[in-house]
Structure 1
Amino acid sequence: IDEIGNIFGVRNGSDEKKPPLMIGSHIDTVRDAGMFDGVFGVLGGLEVVKTLNDNDIKTERSLIVAAFSNEEGARFQPDMMGSLYYTGKADIKDLLSSEDDSGKTVGEELNRIGYRGSDTVQVGCYLELHIEQGPRLHAEGIPIGIVEGIQGLAWWTGEYFGESNHAGSTPMNMRKDTLLAASKLALEAEKLALRIGKGSVATMGRIKPHPDIINIVPGKCSFTIDFRQFDNVLFETGKEEIEKLIISCASERQLNYSFRNVAEVAPIVFDSEMVNTAEAKASFLGLKSMRMISGASHDAQFLTAICPSVMIFVPSTGGRSHCPEEWTDAHELENGCNVLLQTVSELV
């Protein structure tokens, strides 16, 4: 266990000079979630190790199964905290001082549960098995997705400031209603994503008016925006346009505003040789596969900065994820584990 709570299980290989192969994902989740996101990849890694052990198979490389801390960012921001720290993309002091809504810090909570360690491990290449969290594989009846890259992601938090006032006695044309500005922003962000196209998505997952009372015009409204795109040029264009929209929606209603970019990850491309290997192993097993871009962010996008990496997807029934209805059939999970096992066997 390292300083940020990442958990590493190590199966030693016969050649210490060869850098280890890591299989990883996460075991945290969001509120009202399903049972497959993240944890499937960790359990898949453990299943690979169990299979090797059961068959007394020795490997030259050491094999590491990793559970990265706070991938979702549901309680503490930024998300991907564990892989950010592991790959040297974030300072440990900043991460440990991150606070939740109640003022508790990451460091305090890691100490409380006994998961603030001091261990370190090295990595030579990285594989991540995951549910797709989207509809394509299920809709097209394809059992395996070979992931070539991950969309870039940008997150903003913002606030609009107007005037709280009486809902009955304040004329419509004299209001400074912050909720209406945020609502307009949500619609304009949708239009922007559709206009840019090529897989662009924009989401306002949180809009919180204040004082949030039925008979008061909201004088303050906080919000979040999530924008994603795989093409680097379109990613930069989308970010610029989002910030212009935040300002223009405030100006239309003569509101004050504040916003900041709280997370940003550039689009990434996975190692072509590892992509080819995973694809070949799916074919070897008689499983049809499809190359694809991940719409969701994953720890692998940071690992690829320090070592060759690839992801393997299995279908999500109906494309559902981050909800209780999230589901993948047992035989589909087995397919993914078998592709992972064969790919690992080729690389270790």
Structure 2
Amino acid sequence: MNIKETFIELDQQFSSFGGLPQGGITRLLYTEEWRTAVSELKKSFEKNGFETDFDAVGNLSGRITGSRYPDETILSGSHIDTVVEGGHLDGQYGILAAFIAVKYLNETYGQPLRTLEVLSLCEEEGSRFPYSFWGSKNFFNLADKKDVQNAFDADGIKFEDAMRESGFDYRETDNVREDIKAFVEIHIEQGKVLETENKTIGVVNGIVGQKRYAVNLKGEANHAGTTPMGLRRDTVNAFSEIAYDLNKRALEIGDPLVLTFGQVSPVPNTVNVVPGEVNFSIDCRHIDQTALNDFSREIEEKIIEVSNKNDIKYDIQLWMDEEPKLMNNRLMETVKSSAESNAPEKYKVMASGAGHDSQIFSDFVPTAMIFVPSIDGISHNVNEETDINDLVKGIEVLKDVLYQLAYKD
């Protein structure tokens, strides 16, 4: 079996389901494009001797049952949905890579000792409906139908109507999966770290924690020509000082801390009025919980300091507070060993700055992640791409990891 040729063929096939004329894919949960993709994936699994089944909400499994330990499962996969005008690798690569790796192992070494299962999660992105990780949260009985019963997409289609039209429904009973001994997800990095450092494989040690703030500053709107600089209560000026000082501080602390001011809305937002109000967002991430907490205190202290200095009222709302999720040390060492064998001196132990299904899995089963580089760090974009040799190398590393976990006592 030629891994490179097999991947190119499968990637071209599945990229056509929701494929766009300008390249990339729009394949949203419970759409016709999504239904076609999962249906064809099921056929591909079965054609290659995999046993298949869907769960209640549309997560698809394809498995090769173990000969000696059939009740011990080694699981690998990712999500089948995309963002609007997304790339062909985010999510899809993890499913196809797992499929190819298991297919290769089964053809080369025969039936594994432990069950090998490829998982296509129905949704991760939250791009059609305002809910993320519907697939993995249902897999572990975390999703509550009350959270989506009244959810609609941009065209006014109700979540549960789209789900039922696709042949699925809310789970009536909880899933019970005590058989899973490991989950390994391979994914494109979606950043520039591996490419910049000329590395081929990322051994992920964890997924960063995130804190997100919505901040409101209120000063006084006034005439831009008649209000002297020293008499202004200018909220944009205060915001600028906050942003500058905190970005400077984040650079001083260094990686893997990241800080982003992503939304800024001054009021009244016109050319000749001193802005009397501004709303802005802050996104702060770190792999270490203590470091994240420490910097978040600095964020709040800086907002208070600058506001008081400028006679401005402030309101600080922490609306997201997600803990870092660490990968399993034993599985990390297995991935690292495979990376050393397949890409000596070309791998890097690193944190993931983006969220992934693995962060849900890591709370319940031993979990590991493998990254391959993203060209120019581009993702969630039709121009998302990875060198084919890096994609193949990632599959080879995944194949060796799955071999160690499923074929050895």
Normalising by structure 2, we get a TM-score of 0.70
Contact 2:206 2:324 in 1 (8 A): yes
Contact 1:22 1:66 in 2 (8 A): no
Between 300-309 and 202-211, report the one with greater CA deviation: 202-211
SS at match of 2:115: coil
SS at match of 1:153: strand
> Counterparts in 2 of 1:242-281, with a 5 A limit?
242-281=299-338
CA deviation profile, 1:69-110 (whole Å, cap 9, x unmatched) = 344x56766755554554466655346567889998866765
Question: In the superposition, relative to structure 1, how do residues 263 and 31 fare at CA in structure 2: closer, same or farther (>3 Å)?
Answer: farther
Asked if residue 41 in structure 1 is aligned to residue 98 in structure 2, the reply is no
**1:307 matched to which residue of 2?**
365
Question: In the superposition, relative to structure 1, how do residues 107 and 205 fare at CA in structure 2: closer, same or farther (>3 Å)?
Answer: farther
- Identify which of 158, 162, 167 aligns with 2:215: 158
How far did residue 256 of structure 1 move? 3.1
Output the CA distance in 1 between the equivalents of 2:274 and 2:165.
42
- Identify which of 367, 370, 374 aligns with 1:316: 374
How far did residue 148 of structure 1 move? 1.9
**1:239 matched to which residue of 2?**
296
**1:222 matched to which residue of 2?**
279
Contact 2:190 2:379 in 1 (8 A): yes
Between 288-297 and 14-23, report the one with greater CA deviation: 14-23
Contact 1:24 1:68 in 2 (8 A): no
Contact 1:2 1:116 in 2 (8 A): no
**1:139 matched to which residue of 2?**
196
How far did residue 240 of structure 1 move? 1.4
Output the CA distance in 2 between the equivalents of 1:103 and 1:247.
41
How big is the alpha-carbon RMSD for the aligned residues of Structure 1 and Structure 2? Answer: 3.6
Contact 2:201 2:343 in 1 (8 A): no
Greater C-alpha Rg? 2
- Identify which of 368, 393, 408 aligns with 1:335: 393
Between 1 and 2, higher relative CO (CA 8 Å, sep ≥ 6) is seen in 1
- Identify which of 56, 59, 64 aligns with 1:7: 59
SS at match of 2:184: strand
How far did residue 339 of structure 1 move? 1.4
> Counterparts in 2 of 1:170-181, with a 5 A limit?
170-181=227-238
The gaps in structure 2 that reach 5 residues or longer are 1-53
Contact 1:2 1:117 in 2 (8 A): no
Question: In the superposition, relative to structure 1, how do residues 220 and 186 fare at CA in structure 2: closer, same or farther (>3 Å)?
Answer: same
Output the CA distance in 2 between the equivalents of 1:299 and 1:195.
31
How far did residue 281 of structure 1 move? 2.5
Which amino acid in structure 1 is aligned with residue 376 of structure 2? G
How far did residue 313 of structure 1 move? 0.9
Question: In the superposition, relative to structure 1, how do residues 39 and 201 fare at CA in structure 2: closer, same or farther (>3 Å)?
Answer: same
**2:347 matched to which residue of 1?**
289
Contact 2:194 2:372 in 1 (8 A): yes
Question: In the superposition, relative to structure 1, how do residues 126 and 187 fare at CA in structure 2: closer, same or farther (>3 Å)?
Answer: same
Between 327-336 and 51-60, report the one with greater CA deviation: 51-60
Residue identity over aligned pairs, in percent, reads 33
How far did residue 272 of structure 1 move? 1.9
Normalising by structure 1, we get a TM-score of 0.81
How far did residue 129 of structure 1 move? 0.5
**2:403 matched to which residue of 1?**
345
How far did residue 308 of structure 1 move? 0.7
Aligned residue pairs, count? 346
